Amino acid sequence: MDNNLNKAHVKYLESRLYEIAKDTDRYNLTNSNSPTKSSISESDQSEMEEFIENIKLLVNSLGFKIFEPLRKASINKEEEEKNTFYIKAARGANATGQSTSDGFVVFKDSAIADSTTNSFPQNWEKLRSTLIKNKIIEQNVFTKDYLFSSPSSAAAIVMGRSANGLTEWKTEDGRILKSIESNN
């Protein structure tokens, strides 16, 4: 390549970056139109994909994780099981999630408790209402993966009560998140 980006290259990059950002679903994209992808040669596509990897690295190092998926990519089933945590509790709560460097991700299709306790903190009640209003939770079920700032905030929303996420989130074999994190 002659080190020049032409209009077709830029359109290809815009389209691919939009696709990646949409797939990661970390932010609400306000672009109502999906950019069209230009048809470019296979060798140009390969170079543009390398360019995209550099863009992702640069944007991530600036602190914007728009192109980084919420969940850690698992190498194998054993590692996935080790990094997956569950809450099965009263009032219909049945959730699955994963601890990440950014916080705690509750997975799509996780169910929250039907109701909240009388002592449920007002700030959690407000967050729970916002998630329902924004259709992240519909009919007490998460409609997509959602990143919480901590395991405790995730557990509180799921369980409808104050919760210590380090002890509430457990592996399939019953080990608590706190013991897993202290071993790492």
Query: Residue 180: its pLDDT value, please?
Result: 81
Query: What residue has token string 């089933």?
Result: 77
Domain spans, the chain:
7-61, 77-183
The string of pLDDT tens digits covering residues 30-81 is: 877 788 888 899 989 999 999 999 999 999 889 888 888 887 666 667 766 7
Contact 162, 153 (CB under 8 A): no
Tokens of 131: 């998630």
Tokens of 33: 């139109």
Q: What are the start-end ranges of the H helices in 25-121?
A: 42-61, 77-82
φ/ψ region of 36 (left if φ > 0, alpha if ψ in -120 to 50, else beta) reads beta
Pairing of strands 103-106, 94-100: antiparallel
Q: How many CB atoms within 10 Å of residue 141? A: 14
Contact 86, 96 (CB under 8 A): yes
Between CA 167 and CA 184 the distance in angstroms is 16
Query: Residue 73: its pLDDT value, please?
Result: 65
Identify the weakest region by mean pLDDT among 26-35, 91-100, 135-144: 26-35
Give the residue-averaged pLDDT of 128-154: 95
- The model carries a pTM of 0.76
- C-alpha distances in Å from residue 79, one per residue of 83, 98, 171: 6, 12, 12
Q: What are the start-end ranges of the H helices in the chain?
A: 7-24, 42-61, 77-82, 122-133, 151-159, 165-168, 177-183
Tokens of 22: 């949409």
